């Protein structure tokens, strides 16, 4: 038989939509550009340096693992590590020293991703794991907020106060912050990528529009957060209002990006909504319990442990089988 008559065989379907992991990741990177760009404009060079160090740290950690494992296909080229680096940088304050940023991004990949079989196996989003490691180890560096347009140096004593910290120290401070300015992020003290709710919403809507992720988890998170904040506000009048909970801290970043993280979020509609609602409610409960800084991060991290159970809430299949009925 000549070579010409050899035909390759495979299972159907013989065509593919053309979607690939790299394409999904490039979509998420584009969606992260508006919030990060806003952070760079607001906080200047230190913010840009943090983003670069974080991305390079994550990418080259994964690249090094690929080299060590002698893989034929370099898995780092699917760009998931770049997404992890960008997400981690988005959650850091612009006053965070660069060695600590590097440690965080290396840890995110090395502990949050590689031991669980690379992309897809992580039970917590690697970026959240990275920043939680930093938060536990170097709490002052990770909460070293800086005022916008200020020459930031690592200076523990001159760290600015984030709105959330300010309001929890003195509830009357809340009247100093206007809802619109808090949402757009002008003059607000916060993390590089989580300052502007407007930029985050633009990025997230890009994700939904391009069908990279679905919006069920985001809707669930917003509903859970608002409902719990409303109930708590009724019970304890000195608590911040619903809008303040919504636009402060990491709440919007968690709603738009963290609950939609590809490896560690549920895949069914019911699961996604429940995941969002639980994470949103837990965020407010943790804030009320006294954890101002990382409440949204801890809430999402704890909820993602329940993902295997949430995914099983799928209902009956649409077709019955002779085999299982018999």
Partner 1 sequence: MSTFFLQRGIRLPVKKPRNLEIKDVDVPEHSSQQSVADEDGAKQTSPFADKYKEVATHQYVPRQSLAERISDFVAEKGQQVVIRLADEDPHSLTQRAITESLKKGKDKVKAALDQLAEKTGVSKFVFACHKGQDLGELVSLAASIIRVHHSHYPMMTRPCLAKRVLGESPVIDIHVRVKGVLVVDIGELMLLTEPDISAVVTVISQSGAQLVRVRRGATVYEILSAMSLLDGSKKVVMGSPLLGDAIYELHVAMTADTLTLFAESQDDLYQNLPCCNCGKCVKVCPSRLLPGLLSKHIYVENFEDAAHLNVHSCIECGCCAFMCPSRRSLVQFMRLGKQESRKAVGSHE
Exposure string (b/e) for 131-167, b if CB count within 10 Å is 16 or more?
Answer: bbbbbeebeebbbbbbbbeeebebeeeebbebbbbbb
CB 119 within 8 A of CB 263: yes
CB of 288 to partner 1, least distance (A): 32
Residue whose C-alpha is closest to residue 140's, from 96, 176, 102: 96
Between 6 and 70, name the residue whose CB sits nearer to partner 1.
Answer: 6
Nearer to partner 1, 157 or 324 (CB): 324
Binding residues among 203-242 for partner 1 as defined by CB under 8 A: 214
Sign of torsion over alpha carbons 20, 75, 204, 266: positive
Considering only residues 115 to 174 of the shown chain, the ones binding partner 1 according to CB under 8 A are: 117-121
Q: How many amino acids of this chain bind partner 1 (CB under 8 A)? A: 46
Quickly tell me which residue has 């809802």 as its tokens.
179
Q: In the complex with partner 1, which residue's Cβ is closer, 234 or 316?
A: 316
Residue with smaller CB distance to partner 1, 214 or 223: 214
CB of 206 to partner 1, least distance (A): 17
Q: Which residues contact 28 (CB under 8 A, 6 or more apart)?
A: 83, 207, 212, 257, 262
> Could you give the string, one character per residue 256-275, with x where binding to partner 1 holds by CB under 8 A and - elsewhere?
------xxxxxxx-------
Rounded Cα distance between 63 and 65, Å, is: 5
Return the range that interacts with partner 1 (CB under 8 A); candidates 107-115, 144-152, 281-289, 308-316: 308-316
Do residues 277 and 313 lie in contact, with contact meaning Cβ atoms separated by under 8 Å? Answer: no
State yes or no: residue 318 binds partner 1 (CB under 8 A): yes
Per CB under 8 A, residues contacting partner 1 are 1, 4-17, 19-21, 23-24, 117-121, 214, 262-268, 311, 314-325
């Amino acid at each position: 038989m000549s070579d010409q008559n050899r035909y390759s065989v495979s299972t159907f379907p013989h065509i593919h939509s053309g979607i690939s992991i790299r394409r999904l990741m490039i979509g998420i990177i584009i969606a992260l550009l508006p919030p990060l760009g806003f952070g760079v404009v607001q906080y200047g060079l230190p913010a840009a340096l943090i983003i670069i160090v974080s991305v390079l740290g994550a990418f080259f950690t994964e690249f090094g693992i690929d080299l060590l494992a002698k893989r034929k296909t370099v898995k780092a080229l699917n760009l998931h590590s770049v997404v992890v680096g960008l997400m981690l940088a988005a959650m850091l304050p612009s006053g965070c020293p660069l060695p600590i940023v590097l440690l965080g991004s290396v840890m995110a990949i090395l502990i949050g991703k590689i031991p669980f079989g690379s992309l897809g196996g992580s039970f917590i989003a690697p970026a959240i794991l990275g920043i939680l490691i930093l938060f536990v180890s170097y709490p002052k560096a990770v909460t070293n907020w800086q005022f916008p347009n200020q020459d930031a140096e690592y200076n523990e004593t001159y760290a600015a106060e984030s709105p959330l910290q300010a309001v929890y120290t003195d509830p009357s401070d809340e009247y100093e912050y206007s809802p619109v300015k808090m949402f757009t992020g002008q003059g607000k003290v916060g993390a590089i990528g989580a300052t502007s709710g407007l930029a985050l919403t633009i990025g997230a809507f890009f994700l939904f529009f391009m069908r990279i992720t679905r919006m069920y988890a985001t809707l669930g998170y917003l509903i859970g957060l608002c409902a719990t904040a409303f109930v708590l506000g009724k019970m304890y009048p000195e608590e911040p209002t619903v809008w303040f909970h919504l636009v402060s801290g990491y709440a919007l970043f968690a709603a738009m990006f963290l609950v939609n993280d590809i490896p560690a979020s549920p895949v069914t509609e019911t699961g996604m909504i429940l995941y969002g609602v639980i994470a949103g409610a837990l965020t407010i409960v943790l804030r009320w319990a006294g954890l101002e800084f990382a409440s949204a991060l801890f809430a999402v991290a704890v909820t993602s442990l329940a993902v295997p159970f949430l995914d099983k809430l799928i209902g009956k299949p649409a077709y019955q089988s002779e085999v299982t009925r018999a």
